[in-house]
Amino acid sequence: MTPPGFAAAQALAARHRFKWWEVLPWVAAIAAFFLFPTYLSFGTQVLITILFALSLDLVMGYAGIVTLGHAAFFGAGAYTVGILALHFGWNEPLSGLVAAAVVAGAIGFVSGVVLLRTQGLALLMVTLCTMALLEESANMGAAYTGGFDGMPGLEFAPIFGVFQFDPLFFRAQYLYALAVLLVCFVLVRALVYSPFGESLTGIRENVLRMHAVGAPVQRRLVVAYTISAALAGVAGAVFTQTTAFVNLSVLGLDRAAGVLIVLILGGYGRLYGAFVGAVAYMVLEHTLAKAYPTAWQLGIGIVLIVVALYARNGILGIAETLRGRLRMRRAS
């Protein structure tokens, strides 16, 4: 005889195992490489956005920290590799990623220690202001950052000293971004299914209870924020390396709001929401902007409103609801 709750316990214990469909995004990404050879520049941008949204998912979807300033870390990473390459001749890409992760992570740690005591509107505003401060600093430190014009025409060494970045077809860039995304994804996936990840979800669901059971809430949040910032920094670094330029747009409210939209659209707190959201949003934006250069925002705005009103939890939320209904029908 099985004890009560056995099925639930088993489901919980098996949660972290890889499922067959988890291969699909990666197969699709490889397939896209061969199917759309002329769209690899766009594809690289999508991969970078996925990584950026994934980093946001860790703090927003899992730990429940609503931030409007996540582009601060994307920009920190982007500017780190840009400044290192232009002023210090440090243009080896992989070590550049590490440097970007360290700088962005350090900023995330310091700001996290200070900011994460606030909640609600105040938290929204202090994250926003931190990002704006970085943006203004980048604007003012023109000697290092190039100010408003940014740093165009950066050069980076080949990956592993072998694979040259290809300014025309973006083949190397695409595969490079894909590889970085895969490594980071495996890391995030392991993290959210670990006891640490569970405690983050606990903090999101019920802070008081987590305090009551003696979890170090503040410390957990700061650690999650730091890791997320480092990942966002890596995304920014890949952006600079693959496009060979960096300017103030990496730090702006547009980018912060954009990644927020991507994640909510895909479905937050679900790991794969970043994938679905980034592809859906960017493909939609790309096609609309091409077809209707003046009116593309209208289409996107309507989609966002409809999703917010009728599809709580984003596109993956719809999929889950449908699956749940199907199961109910089968059971009855």
- Contact footprint for other proteins (CB under 8 A): 60, 66, 114-115, 117-122, 124-126, 128-130, 132-133, 136-137, 139-140, 253-254, 257, 260-261, 264-265, 268, 294-298, 300-305, 307-309, 312
- Of 95 and 137, the one with the shorter C-beta distance to other proteins is 137
Tokens linked to 326: 């199907």
Mapped onto helix, strand or coil, the DSSP state of residue 68 is coil
- Of 128 and 215, the one with the shorter C-beta distance to other proteins is 128
- Of 157 and 262, the one with the shorter C-beta distance to other proteins is 262
* Smallest gap from residue 278 Cβ to other proteins (A): 15
- Of 72 and 86, the one with the shorter C-beta distance to other proteins is 72
Residues 6 or more apart whose Cβ sits within 8 Å of residue 49: 235, 258, 259, 262, 278, 282
Burial 262-285 (b: 16+ CB within 10 A, else e): bbbbbbbbbbbbbbbbbbbbbeeb
* Smallest gap from residue 329 Cβ to other proteins (A): 27
* Smallest gap from residue 198 Cβ to other proteins (A): 21
Tell me how far apart the alpha carbons of residues 153 and 147 are, in angstroms, rounded to a whole number: 15
Cβ atoms of residues 58 and 114 within 8 Å: no
Cβ atoms of residues 211 and 93 within 8 Å: no
| Residues composing the chain | 332
- Of 155 and 254, the one with the shorter C-beta distance to other proteins is 254
Tell me how far apart the alpha carbons of residues 51 and 57 are, in angstroms, rounded to a whole number: 10
* Smallest gap from residue 272 Cβ to other proteins (A): 17
Mapped onto helix, strand or coil, the DSSP state of residue 150 is coil
* Smallest gap from residue 289 Cβ to other proteins (A): 12
